[in-house]
Structure 1
Amino acid sequence: MDNTNENMTEDKDINKNNNGNSDDYEKICFVCRRPESRAGKMIVMPNNIYICQDCMQRTFDSINSSGINYEDMMKMSNMPGMGMFGNFGVMDSDPVPEKQKLKKKKEDKKELPALDVSKLPAPHEIKRKLDEYVIGQDYAKKVMSVAVYNHYKRVSADARILGDVEIEKSNMLMIGPTGSGKTYLVKTLARILQVPLAITDATTLTEAGYIGDDIESVVSKLLLAADNDVEKAEHGIIFIDEIDKIAKKKETRSRDVSGESVQQGMLKLLEGSEIEVPVGATSKNAMVPQVTVNTKDILFICGGAFPDLEDIIKTRLNKSSSMGFNADLKDKYDDEKNIMSYVTVDDLREYGMIPEFLGRLPIIYSLDRLDEDMLVNILKEPKNAILKQYQKLLELDEVKLEFTDDALRSIARKAMEKDTGARALRSIIEDFMLDIMYEIPKDSNIGSVTITEDVVEKKGAPVITMRA
């Protein structure tokens, strides 16, 4: 009897060592994969295995109904390799992978606010920090700063202060052409606020039961970004890009499994509800732990380029054109650069977004199309500007890199021709910088390199200055 107690104590010590800090993570049932917070107290088995009481009871019930003799089972358990769960080949290490471990919720969660509103930067501070990384888009940055500030004030506010007033979420819909900085704005915002961020694509989402990612997988990615800490994930930001790809199809004879049905499936997600998501996986079918996440305090930002939306806006604006002295010209808005700024909910409904979905995204704003001056500023002004990156690379070889103003203008013009926004800048620079980056390390006497317009246009060589 004493030997048995000693062995059980050793097993518990092994379990504690293999789990790392066992106080930080929940125990997970080996059979049903539910965490301890949902399944109740676990029964500790040898080889680092935990089983919930429900699964253990079902096991005993199935043994009783099958008529297996307990004495025969005990004889089998004493045979080498035939102990309980011996045939499963369980290793001595923890059977739950590291990425599927679930952190425990803090017990004092209800007493303390999730965020300290006094440490939350004011809207003008958020915009000022965004200005350091993002050029232009002043209106979009102002809208995002105010919306995010109000959202986290709502999350951190004490229920006693709010009383009977319930403040709703300020989810956002961001519309802008490709390369205008939608994803970059959200990334910078999450870095400023130091909250978990999950960036996902709407193109892979399908209705439940079809090939593709479930709608709840977007929350599963946020949980992974929060290091499987549910409390932290419930105050994070989810950015769903390419949201225009789930628009309702105009004419289709088959079931629209990646269009309107996905919008309908996301309604409760955006509004706020408790959903079960797999830990460390994007599919519920996998044998992984399930955890409940409440989305009422998660800020959703949706973004998309919405191609062909400009034609819908122009058609609506030109409806007032008619014959007479006060009539508008039909081509009045053809040369309008930022036609997206005139967008309304009716235009988005015409595009294929359902009214219920748009109703849960109360803040709708657009980003400006980048012009030549903005592209030049993007090249040199932000903290991590592209030119500064190349200058740092050559600085490691003790070589100074300079660009003339004409060269910057030429790069911006080439990017405008490609019509892919700021994404075109790096590919253009990589093209003419390849030979320079290859040749410079050959000669240690080179002191500085100046890139001119001729280099960008591939009509000449860079100006090289040797060391004194």
Structure 2
Amino acid sequence: MSDQDFVIVDEEKDSEIPQEKENRTEDSRKEVVKDAEKEREDDDGYEKICFICHRPESVTGKMIDLPNHITVCPDCMQRSFDAMSSSPLDLGKMMNMPGVQFLNLSDLEGMQPEAKKIKKKKEKPKEFPELDIKNIPAPHKIKARLDEYVVGQERAKKTMAVAVYNHYKRVATNTMDDIEIEKSNMLMIGPTGSGKTYLVKTLARLLDVPLAITDATSLTEAGYIGDDIESVVSKLLAAADNDVERAEQGIIFIDEIDKIAKKKTSSQRDVSGESVQQGMLKLLEGSEVEVPVGANSKNAMVPLTTVNTKNILFICGGAFPDIEEIIKERLQKKTSMGFNSELKDTYEHDENLLSKVTVEDLRKFGMIPEFLGRLPIIFTLKGLDKEMLVKILREPKNAILKQYQKLLALDEVKLDFDDSALEAIAEKAMEKDTGARALRAIIEEFMLDIMYEIPKDDNIGEVTITRAYIEGTGGPVIRLRGQEVPALNG
């Protein structure tokens, strides 16, 4: 009889378990919904800031809420627990000691200045196209797109198109069999203002990959004042919205690479020259590096993540001033007598002298052989002559003249430039010797008065910039709607 009773009890108990479980699940679901609704009500549109390290929630991850509206990030909370657990003091005993009073959280509110509020960014769905060999544009298509934005530099554009196409074929197929394809890292050599940075920006926009542009002048050996070498990778990670996989398929452009050449006459430790080249070897070749998330330098308050650089394309650029003298010296080593003799001034006025650069010339300049070996594709950009500067003003898709014409078109005014005026602007830019950068500054100077005066008069319909205006001997030709009037004073 007792056995039967036990069976009945057990059956009743079992029959109640699913119902109880269902009730508990429903209660917990309601609690979660209630908490989410409360969180939405309390959301004021600003990010929560960690009370200790002052980093926002978008960088640290979900905050821990403490009483009196104090929020602490998980990193700082963990470090606090670690410090307490490793402390030789027994906090449990101290709680009961007479005269010992622990800090009240309400007292913390006035102890630190209030952190600056950061507005929450509206979340946009990230749609990163998957890299597929069929989607990679062919070299002739890459060059055609570069032609739309960059004038001249045909050899450089063709070299870049082929190198980038081969690199992303390697990344997309992940070829790691018996025949391993090496990276197509590039070194661009060209005078200032010849379009090095602009080429890379256009390339990254065309391929829709993250791009980080950094300056080698700020890089120093680890432990010294300046940016660590890994900071170039952390900039790429930031450009990829902290998406490691996307960052590992990006492009890093290191400008002013000639500034980390070996210092020839320096008795001090070369912390910004050869040592930086040595430190960059592992990055260029491909290795796993730990980089800070949301900061440029490593410190105790910043979380780290690992990025593999084997599929990151590195493009280095530099003006390499005075390298022409090294090239000239090498070319003039031939005998000055006999049938094969050459005059000493043969290469004195050679406009294409830079294109004759070799790895040996770069090594003499101060770049170490191991560094140059990891940049297999070396090409040069020509200095800009007057004809190229005129084309830069007029032809590219976003040419400077087209920008000003669009600005005045918004005021229903037509803007024209005489051919002679463009030549005058190019001549002035040649005098400054800063390449295409000088064009914008010159046009800004001459367009200032026009942009100021035009909105005053609704009757003005057309403005023509003349050579006389550029040279300061006359003014622009102003036409009212349907008639011509005397030129304004410049």
Same fold judged by TM-score > 0.5? yes
Q: Which runs of 5+ in 2 are unaligned?
A: 1-23, 44-49, 56-61, 483-490
How does 1:73-152 map onto structure 2 within 5 Å? 81-82=104-105, 115-152=131-168
How does 1:318-397 map onto structure 2 within 5 Å? 318-397=332-411
Q: Does 1:66 align with 2:89?
A: yes
Of all paired residues, the percent bearing the same amino acid is 64
Change (3 A) 1:55 1:448: closer
Contact 1:113 1:156 in 2 (8 A): no
Q: Which residue of 1 aligns with 2:413?
A: 399
Q: Distance in 1 between matches of 2:390 and 2:226?
A: 40
Q: Does 1:416 align with 2:430?
A: yes
Cα distance, 1:335 vs. partner? 1.1
How does 1:108-257 map onto structure 2 within 5 Å? 115-159=131-175, 163-257=177-271
Alpha-carbon displacement from aligned partner over 1:68-95 (angstroms, at most 9, x marks no partner): 327938x99x989459x9899899x9x9
Which protein is bigger by CA-based radius of gyration?
2
Q: Distance in 2 between matches of 1:383 and 1:114?
A: 28
Q: Which residue of 1 aligns with 2:446?
A: 432
Letter in 2 for 1:151: H
Instruction: Indicate the RMSD between aligned Cα atoms, in angstroms.
Output: 4.0
Letter in 2 for 1:169: K
Q: How does the TM-score come out when normalised to structure 2?
A: 0.79
Change (3 A) 1:157 1:98: farther
Q: Does 1:261 align with 2:285?
A: no
How does 1:437-448 map onto structure 2 within 5 Å? 437-448=451-462
Cα distance, 1:292 vs. partner? 0.9
Change (3 A) 1:458 1:53: closer
Helix, strand or coil for the counterpart of 1:154? Answer: helix
Farther-moved stretch of structure 1 (432-441 vs 48-57):
48-57
Q: Which runs of 5+ in 1 are unaligned?
A: 21-27, 34-41, 100-104, 107-111
Contact 1:133 1:382 in 2 (8 A): yes
Alpha-carbon displacement from aligned partner over 1:314-333 (angstroms, at most 9, x marks no partner): 00011114222330111111
Helix, strand or coil for the counterpart of 1:127? Answer: helix
Contact 2:63 2:72 in 1 (8 A): no
Change (3 A) 1:158 1:385: same
Cα distance, 1:422 vs. partner? 0.7
Farther-moved stretch of structure 1 (363-372 vs 318-327):
318-327
Helix, strand or coil for the counterpart of 1:320? Answer: coil
Cα distance, 1:414 vs. partner? 1.5
Contact 1:272 1:296 in 2 (8 A): yes
Change (3 A) 1:275 1:90: farther
Q: Distance in 2 between matches of 1:181 and 1:302?
A: 13
Alpha-carbon displacement from aligned partner over 1:4-50 (angstroms, at most 9, x marks no partner): x99x96998599869x9xxxxxxx9x99x9xxxxxxxx997855653
Q: Distance in 2 between matches of 1:202 and 1:253?
A: 22
Helix, strand or coil for the counterpart of 2:333? Answer: helix
Q: Which residue of 2 aligns with 1:290?
A: 304
